[in-house]
Copies of this chain bind each other. A is one copy, B any other.
Amino acid sequence: MADTMKRLKAILAEVTDIQRAGAVLDWDQETYMPPGGIQNRADQASTLSEVAHRRFTSDEVGLLLEEAETEVANEPFDSDDASIVRVARRDYELDRKLPPELVAEIAHAGSAARPHWQRARKEAKFEIFAPYLQRAVELNQRMAEALGYDKRPYDALLNRTEPGLTTDQLEAMFEELRTAIVPLVAGIARHADAVDDSVLHRGFDTDKQVQYALDTVVKLGYDLERGRQDISTHPFSIAFGPGDVRITTRVNRDFFNECLFGSIHEAGHGMYFQGIGRNIDRTPLWDGASPGVHESQSRLWENLVGRSLPFWNHFFPSLRETFPEPLRGVDAEGFYRAVNKSYPSFIRVEADEVTYNLHVLLRFELENDMLEGKLKVNDVPEAWNELFKSYFGLDVPNDREGALQDIHWSFIGFAEFPGYTLGNIIGAQFMEKIRAEMPDLDSQIGRGEFGPLLRWLQENVYQHGRKFTPNELVERVTGQPISPKPWIAYVRKKFGALYDLEPVKA
């Protein structure tokens, strides 16, 4: 009998190793691969992914899972073995439900759509991309049918990435967010001059920025013995196991925020990865609980820590030593205010802490309407612009800055945006709990002490990997269901003070 778990774990380890090898290939492609390598790399990546998929979805794994389920039936829910079997079963069912032809069709449609999306965006002509978006909608509908759902097609897609969360649950939370953010954004717009961020554009030596960012994330607790930082067009974090978790950053001489906050964001993901228990290495548990929970950590470190006043009280002196010229005449508080300037913008990836969620809400609504046949693809730009106007009070000047801006739809990825907002919400929930247990957190941060915070997160969140679903994890850590209230309270307080707004009655 014990042999079953051993055999199951051996196959799961093999599958994990192959997927991690695929991740090394991805990292290399984004950092050092010469341009000529693209075709060979595509072949290698798709072979590895096929081989891992074939192995994991084999009948052999199905049989082993059945036997293993009996074997671990009496073990505690959160034991390693019971959790491995439970999560492997969930992955197995999802992977088996998707017909290989559909997976291949999606991959192919994504490759085919990409250049047309690029051209459509460049020329700001939605009609070029429309047929490919139509295809994306159909493929997502087919995927939802294949995966199955009780109520709404979006549930099926959401369940793949954020297991246990429902569209209705998100809708209720997003409505609560919308009600809080829209007036806040309008209030900030009326007091826009209260924050001056011109210092961020004064020209910062790029090599020094990259080094300063690296030094900073090391101080936060990102372990360079098991990591490294490289440059890439789009910053990302990636893990090949507990011993090797890498981050990348980018740097812009004329906009300070990109490099430092990009690095802290990725290091947040990185510290999560580095904190997952070695006891569950080479199992399906060794990963973040979900994209949303992962994002809670990047945003917790980037925004709740990195964009706080105590953080800048600690770091600003060394920053000014590194960049004496551009920082002449600026003090810690002025810099704190600058990095927190909020303004409505058309582009999601450039959005600040307050407005970001509105971008997500808009996409969530449109995706649901498309999936459920309530919104025709040809009407997407109009629907986009209307919603945008109602959320931000701005007229979208063209589709490049509107419905064509995101790459996600070109590779058929629906139901991916909510993870960003879940991250904001969950991060703030964890932080509320942390502050209750560590009332002197701000003083610690002000002294540059991040060890206790990191250890709290490791113990309560990171070590568990995928053992718990997002709902289970938040309930376990905070004693509450997932709720946007702590995040709303946080932004109201912080931006109310920054922009001198009337307090809102909660």
Contacts and interface: CB of A to CB of B under 8 A. Distances in A.
Nearest to A20: B44
Given A13-B43, A51-B18, A32 B240 contact: no
A36 B228 contact: no
Contacts of A38: 243
A40 B243 contact: yes
A24 B36 contact: no
Nearest to A22: B21
A241 interface: yes
> How many monomers of this protein are in the complex?
2
B282 A37 contact: no
Contact of A51 (B41, B51, B230): B51
A385 B334 CA distance: 74
Interface stretch (A168-176, A219-227, A289-297): A219-227
Contacts of A25: 21, 24
A450 to B, nearest CB: 20
A181 to B, nearest CB: 40
Contact of A40 (B20, B33, B35, B227): B20
Interface string A239-250: 011111010000
Contact of A241 (B21, B37, B223, B242): B37
A17 B241 CA distance: 22
Interface string A136-149: 00000000000000
Given A25-B24, A51-B51, A17 B34 contact: no
B240 A44 contact: yes
Consensus secondary structure, chain A interface: helix
Contact of A243 (B24, B36, B51, B226): B36
Interface in A20-70: 20-22, 24-25, 28, 32-41, 43-44, 47-48, 50-51
Contacts of A353: none
A197 interface: no
B34 A24 contact: no
A28 to B, nearest CB: 6
A18 B40 contact: no
A25 to B, nearest CB: 6
Interface residues of A, number: 41
A442 interface: no
A14 interface: yes
Contacts of A50: 14
A21 B37 contact: no
A34 B224 contact: yes
A193 to B, nearest CB: 46
A40 to B, nearest CB: 3
A241 B281 CA distance: 31
A20 B241 CA distance: 20
A226 B36 CA distance: 5
Contacts of A47: 13-14, 17-18, 21
A35 B51 CA distance: 28
A368 B32 CA distance: 43
A241 B37 CA distance: 8
A34 B244 contact: yes
What 3 A-B pairs come out closest when comparing CB atoms?
A40-B241, A37-B244, A36-B226
18 contacts: A13-B47, A17-B48, A18-B47, A18-B51, A20-B40, A21-B21, A24-B44, A28-B28, A34-B244, A35-B225, A36-B227, A37-B244, A39-B241, A40-B243, A41-B240, A41-B244, A43-B282, A44-B240
